[in-house]
Amino acid sequence: MEIKEETTADEAQQFLPLVQADHLAESKLTSLKRTASEPKLEFSLACKDLVAPTRDRKLNTFVQIAVVHPGEQTSARYSSTEIVEGTRDPLFLTGVTFPRDYPIYEETKIKLTVYDVKDKSQDTVRTSIQTEHKEPRTDIGRSFLGCATFKVGELVKSKEQQLTLSLRSSDGGKTVGTIDVSLVKMGQTEDGESDHNAADVQGQKCALVYECTSPENNSCKDNLPLLNAVLKNPICKLYRFPSSDNKWMCVREQMSESTLSFHIPKELINLHIKEDMRRNQDLKELGELSPHWDNMHKTVIAHCDQMLTLYQDMLAELEKYTGSSFKSSCSKGEKTLEFVPVNLHLQRMYVHSPRLKDVLYDVITVGAPAAHFQGFKNGGLQKLLNKFESERRNTGYQCIYYSPENTAKAKEVLSNINHLQPLISSHTDLLLNSARQHLPDSLKNSLKTLSETTELFVHAFKDQLIRNALLALYMARPGCVLKNPTVPRISVEDSGDQPNQEHPHEIKRQDSIPHHSEYDEEEWDRVWTNVGKSLNCIIAMVDRLLEKENIPSVAKENESDPLPAECVASPLSGDWYEQLYPLTVTLKDCIGEVVTRARQSMSFVLLQELACSLPQCLMLTLRRDIVFSQALAGLVCGFIIKLHSSLHDQGFLQQLHTVGLIVQYEGLLSTYSEEIGMLEDMAVGISDLQKVIFKITEAKSNDLLPVVTGRRGHYVIEIKLPEKMFELLPQEIKEGKPLHVHPVLFNVGINEQQTLAERFGDTSLQESINQENVELLKEYYKLFTEKMPPDCLPHFQEQNDLKGLLENLHQNIQAKKRKNVEIMWLAAMICRKLNGIRFTCCKSAKDRTSMSVTLEQCSILRDEHQLHKDFFIRALDCMRREGCRIENVLKNVKCRKYAFNMIQLMAFPKYYRPPEGTYGKADT
């Protein structure tokens, strides 16, 4: 049967699971048996005795791999190896791997085509998409040498699990060499000398032995549902690199999208809508106001309703979205996808080395959290928030100035109202139910719960801000008169909680309505204390009822407090319910009165914040929500992946609930032009993650997606684990102990724009960010050393090493050296040693990010796994030319080229430059 080769219509999909025709299911194809967590098939390639087109030609070869599915006669291009230069016996470091979801069977045919590359910079066929297949012409940089085809079953069933195939010319007659295909089984160890000698870049040779074992043996099928819930569309690459002691190490690189890219934004927007609906309703229920305040009130409500509609429309658009599970770099400016992180992926590297324990290394790659659609003409969040706060302080008589702390306190009070009032109501119902059924123990337990909740309620309103806001609200009513007209307590200078001192005089000047009532400043105290008195009446009544039944009474917290006369005056009847019901009604009425006053006063505080600078205030909130949503989606993804990979590490789990996790963000943004605004957005978004709390619960269904609850500035992320995974957790985590994260950001610009910033612009933003965050990192390390035992870190890491690394990082930041990438290397190393979560970000997480993560991977292989020093650059080129990151570029811009040009790369640090032929003009 003649095999014709053709490329897929969209090469971006070449690594995704393929849906086969119905007839494949009927042909009873033989499936490959591999564990659920491993790729289906992996093999390595090497050629021997290749024949050059001309005698004096030195071959520069690579192998293109294509797949012929059963029942089909055309092949689909799948992957390629790297280019090996100057030899007729190339041994390729890049292997071939098929993910577990890829439809490959024993009957599947693999076609291997060997090409000779004459000019890497002109090798455009490999780095771009062809609309239809044509044999490569010699004038475009490469020429056809030979090809061979085999069935997967032949390789799997071969005695040595290796095939040696003859490479034949295009007419099928002439033999131009042989190609060895060796099956790679990560779970097994293979001993013996390799048939090939691996040559280094200088032509020196060393004998290599191939051995590898799998780190995935520690994985369990029970863990897979969690990963499958958050990860999609894996792309796998396989490499084998020589170590310094002439052994093979096997490296598997994997990149996956995350379903959380869209799930978390939708969860957050839904919470924003509910929070804003409550706020708008509270504002509408402020009551009658004087003309000045009433006009302002109506304007604020109109703008708030418009913004609520915007959020609702945004959620509706996301709910309708049916595209891929990641947002491409080309879509970063789309309005409907503003809340979605750009190009969020898990970048994972498994290392199977002969002498060291198998390890995996994870980095989350994502575009810098930023409001791209809103733009950066006026800067980013950091600059805009400072400007906004400065303008609020100078609003004059138009509105009252409350500090950001007091505004946050007002939101907290409103949140407590919404949380505690329904709780007290349900607890009183439980108390009455116990009384109706005459259950003493249940009655005592219900009373205890009611008392604790009511005490929390009373404590939540014990704040001077409420008093001052009630007075300010009274003055904003159509008619008011004060016992003390000067109202000194409203001055900010007298108390940090009060409005602007100048404002009361302006109010008096505006208010021409005759004063017909007096404001009683002590009324709030009476209303507030009535709640406690009502609770005491209930406690006293329960005690009397239990004493009458000769049951031990409820122990009161303070026996010396005299109870109100009305609590003890009424005679007792036999019906507990009849005795308690009127007292619970009184308690609810008292609480309702407190809630009404507190809600209105705190809503008045929020009115001031909104009225000071409409619509900038609401637009700033929107921008902050957008940036936070992008940052949170990445954080939740990183947290789940880290938890999944460390479930068997007791030291990590103890660290998780004792001191929390360090989350280290590596930024590659320049401090020039628009990227300054992006960096300002990113800095605020990452800082806002400090208040995020995680809780881990046992999943009650197959839905393992995380749940977000809370409000702005106070979010709780519920991570659901399957039963067998949940059982592995310490008791503290099982009981719902809050788990904290400590985000830090280090940024070093590396591109040509950073060169301009360093020579002609300003790098102070980058310097201040790095200085602030190294102090945060030191604080975490101090907390870590104080609360964690010394043996909780991996065995090869000592605290002295960490102390030295932190000092080295501090010195590098203070040095203010241009493009000091050592800052990023040190920060990443410290993060890994502290069991942290690693992030790498640039504008789109595509080009600069790819250079950084591949460099990090090869540095880890060199420093931790003894990668042969002469193969460092070659390994780096392999990963950048044929690894997961070039596939990421393809997914984003439909072209296999990093978006750099030669002029730009001249400004890049040496190790951040891609190999020749992998960069050029591309739409980002």
The residues annotated as belonging to the active site are: 842
Structure tokens given for 184: 């790679």
Helices (H) and strands (E) in the chain, counts: 25, 22
Cβ pair 752, 913 in contact under 8 A? no
Burial of 333 (0-12, 13-18, 19+ CB in 10 A): middle
Q: Categorise residue 332: left if φ over 0, alpha if ψ from -120 to 50, beta otherwise.
A: alpha
Cβ pair 635, 838 in contact under 8 A? no
Burial of 157 (0-12, 13-18, 19+ CB in 10 A): exposed
Cβ pair 626, 339 in contact under 8 A? yes
What is the spatial distance between Cα 121 and Cα 456, in angstroms, rounded to a whole number? 70
Structure tokens given for 839: 């992030």
Query: What separation in angstroms does the CA of 923 have from each of 179, 366, 903?
Result: 38, 18, 17
Angle between helical axes of 848-865 and 872-882 (0-180°, round to 10): 140
Cβ pair 272, 377 in contact under 8 A? no
Over 446-504, what HEC string results? HHHHHHHHHHHHHHHCCCHHHHHHHHHHHHCCCCCCECCCCCHHHCCCCCCCCCCCCHH
Element spanning 746, H or E: strand 739-747
End-to-end CA distance of the chain: 43
What is the spatial distance between Cα 865 and Cα 249, in angstroms, rounded to a whole number? 8
Peptide bond connecting 615 to the previous residue in cis, omega within 30 degrees of 0: yes
> Which SS3 state, helix, strand or coil, does residue 692 take?
coil
The closest of 402, 368, 22, 46 to 199, measured between CA atoms, is 46
Cβ pair 15, 235 in contact under 8 A? yes
AA letter at 631: A
> Which SS3 state, helix, strand or coil, does residue 663 take?
strand
Sign of CA dihedral 98, 104, 106, 109: negative
Phi, psi of 146 (to 5 degrees): -175, 170
What is the spatial distance between Cα 907 and Cα 753, in angstroms, rounded to a whole number? 9
Structure tokens given for 394: 């100078």
